[in-house]
Structure 1
């Protein structure tokens, strides 16, 4: 095995791990991820070669000639050069994998503001928000940042002294004076972002690869693959065979790689999060000048209201939709942000109507919202105020139209400049159909005649499905084509794709109705067409009274089969969507995840629980999602 010992270390330990993580990440990987990895690989290799060559020339560490193949560069064996690449690659992959669950812009720090005295409801909302997002206390972040800078600078000073003194502290000193200035630089630029993201996003990419590389290094040192000069090291072992210098080296290099990845996330969060400042399309591989501009942008120039509103939207998404929350991790950049904002708007509008105490209040709220949308849409288009977020706009919308603050903020954030108004109006029409159900007034207990139920025919059902779901699909696809226009798709093909999306939205709404028949009955609603029910001598009022009836189960099966048929007729259109920005993967994942609910309901044909929140188990949901991404 002479000449292969170092290569065997990679073959047995580093390459298999890199391949495993690559496979795990591949379904979620985007072009931006490739960009970040490529940049860090170039930086890591070019910065480490001179340093490692210096260590070899000065006998800080060495390797037996029979342990390597023999090819060297600046005295560095090719296996060691590969180690620079493989470590950077592994740690970058882990960092990217754990960061998929967050939208970086939501974790940008903001300057302190003096808000009005919060109501009890607003105070409770802020307490809930802490469960999902770290509050960015600007002063606290600055204090911790200053302490961290002093600590890192102290390590540089200690390292310089050890190198100057020579002897056994040389290796440790060289590690510190090489790595800590770069860490100091990254910390100075991005410490507020690093401190704001969840701890797991920082600690896992540092500690997990470090622990594994400690294990690999221990085996290599035990087998004599490389040797540390005892005259240049302290001789302290973290455990048997693992020198403290080697342990610090892998820890500190993984800190470098992780901080580098987070610095990339930081600048991408800025340039994607503030289109009013970076008012141009951001390519998947942004120019270096744009990245520098984003990273060097002062916190005082951020738009605090946009960050705050985005956090509200994310919390709404995490609370209300597991399917779309999972799918959103695949989308990237501004598309992901706009889709989350679109979801929050639709959900807030739905809640605004559903949570009204009486039908009259709900109708007034719907009228106010309709007026607010119409006027805001006209203003944005006439003024060409693309992506412009005024500091007082939120309160203006809230005060002008007497809308709840959360509803006003989601309307403020909605990118109306690039969306057609017709599907938004259609969405409101769907809410109006809900208000025609007899049980809208929560205070009323009287029996209501069947004729007041609005879904009388299959045509009514299809119209309702379009209004509450097809419109959302239409808006989603408009955002996709806005952010990633495809030159290879004609206007006619684009219209056909959008129509297929509308049909798919209707199919998903049919599945949603099938799942929630009993749940809707508790609200006094029945979305099964009255003429369908008549075939089994049933009425909507009978379903509301008792949802678990034999005829209802048969009609649910009919509705599900109709949904699956529409799904099969239109799913090929997904493959015509742009691949950029995770658009195709994200849409496919979201659709398949939701269609799986229909499949499970058909499997459980005899069951009809009142609550169906766990229709599909988390493990099955994840498996279906990953399969869809890999398709």
Structure 2
């Protein structure tokens, strides 16, 4: 049955099963264009937060999925009827009976996931290539590059020479590409989020091998600065969430006693999660019951989902000690007396998190680093933690003063004939600016010492981590140029500078909800 015809002078000649080489090339280039749009728009999306199941989906989402199934089933049936009848509806029927069953399959498998994704991440990869191909095809049909046999088409044009069948063809083929990518991203999100559920699969299992190969390949194609690879990214979000939740509990406490109480409860959590300082993570225990009894609902999932199996306990205990260093400020005391004190504080609230991030990087790195390189990177992370925290303190001198805190060392203040209370009274005074620049100089000394070592990082995380560090150090550069323009920020963000640079906080709650709701069903 002839549907298209091509003038001899419009094609170069080679064919495969009567299909011109140009047509075969078109199939490749269309898939590439649409896939590229999808990847660009979804690269920064953390797909794990959109995983859901039937029970957790809203009634409206369930109805939409059902309506989609009915629509695609009806389109398949209509396509079959048109093909069986022949005549003017043949081409449209062939398009529907060819594409709609596969659209129905991917929609049924991934409809809930697809409907929860940001609509722009689905609509644009379908619509933009479709509009472009409509325009190009209208030109081709108008110039006679190819033609549709009059006996097999309806004869309706969307505009100009663009036949309605061709318009529908481009729409459904781009939908096929996007729906297929969505289905694969859903599978990878499940694989990344619940790797333990796939350990029981035999090594000979083809799907498992394919997923592993894809995961390793994808790790080498990270778009610098946009995201970390899937499983690593998820655990970084969970690490951030714990740090954020713990810091909020302490920082938002109404009194020093309440803050100490939260620190003690967090210590109790770590004791149960690790069987005490320096020990390995516990496989069993009363972690869940302890969390339920001692922590508010918003913080529970952050504690329960912390990937303790991959992380040492020491940095977490040090982080809590950093929280303790903040508490004396509530009594109008100033614990940062020397440069050694500010370095200790930075080590506890910033370097610890950098070290924890590296542990996750080392775990997920496809190519193992040497022990010497791991040690060098850990030391560099500690030093870089100083640099980032010093920039944070330099930025927030005025903000800290408003809540009664001065992190500038007292011996530095004494050199300028100042006391901490002088900073509280006037954090914008010229001498405070002198000390800000001194602290920034120290920050950049630490940065320059540790930055070259970051080149030892694995390829898949080097770009994102360097961009994270550079984006924060840029704050220091701006402060140097502008001589200290204060930025309003919530105090307490400082321990998680690298994680903050990627906007992870806004994704954390949704990720917790998704993981919690699916833990029993995946």
What's the TM-score bracket when you normalise by the shorter of the two chains?
0.7 to 0.9
Match of 1:342 in 2: 239
Query: Contact 1:268/1:291 (CA < 8 Å) preserved in 2?
Result: no
Residue 466 (1) aligns with residue 360 (2): no
| Structure 2: gaps spanning 5 or more residues | 213-222, 491-500, 503-522
Q: Distance in 1 between matches of 2:200 and 2:23?
A: 42
1:577 — aligned with what?
457
Query: Secondary structure at the residue paired with 1:370?
Result: helix
Matched, 1:230 2:173: no
Q: Find the aligned partners of 1:370 and 1:537 in 2 and give their Cα distance.
A: 40
Q: How does 1:180-579 map to 2 (within 5 A)?
A: 180-279=100-199, 288-290=206-208, 329-378=226-275, 381=280, 383-384=282-283, 394=288, 396-399=290-293, 402-438=294-330, 448=332, 452-484=333-365, 486-487=367-368, 489-579=369-459
C-alpha change, 1:612 and 1:266, in structure 2 (3 Å) is closer
Quote the Cα distance in structure 1 between the aligned partners of 2:39 and 2:290.
39
CA spacing shift, 1:140–1:591, aligned 2, 3 Å: same
Count of residue pairs brought into register by the alignment: 479
Distance 1:485 1:150 in 2: 44
> 2:225–2:463: 8 Å Cα contact kept in structure 1?
no
Give the unaligned 5+ runs of structure 1. Answer: 1-57, 113-135, 295-325, 440-447, 614-623, 626-631
SS at match of 1:435: helix
**8 Å Cα contact 1:109-1:138 kept in structure 2:** no
Task: Give the TM-score taking structure 2 as reference length.
Answer: 0.86
The answer to whether the 8 Å contact 2:31/2:177 transfers is yes
The 2-side partners of 1:328 and 1:335 are apart by: 14
How far apart, CA to CA, are the structure 2 residues paired with 1:395 and 1:242?
65
Aligned counterparts of 1:100 and 1:280: Cα–Cα separation in 2: 30
2:83 aligned with 1:163: yes
TM-score (norm 1): 0.72
Identify which of structures 1 and 2 has the higher relative contact order when contacts are C-alpha pairs closer than 8 Å and 6+ apart. Answer: 2
1:397: Cα distance to partner?
Answer: 1.2
Q: Is the 8 A contact 1:327 1:590 kept in 2?
A: no
Query: Offset at 1:220?
Result: 1.5
How much does 1:341 deviate? 0.7
SS in 1 for 2:275: helix
Question: Could you say if the C-alpha distance between residues 293 and 139 of structure 1 is closer, same or farther in structure 2, counting changes exceeding 3 Å?
Answer: farther
Which residue among 486, 491, 497 is the counterpart of 1:609? 486
- The Cα RMSD (Å) is 2.6
Q: Is the 8 A contact 2:256 2:330 kept in 1?
A: no
Secondary structure of 1:538's match? coil
Deviation at 1:486, TM superposition (A): 3.2
Distance of 1:383 and 1:433 partners within structure 2: 29
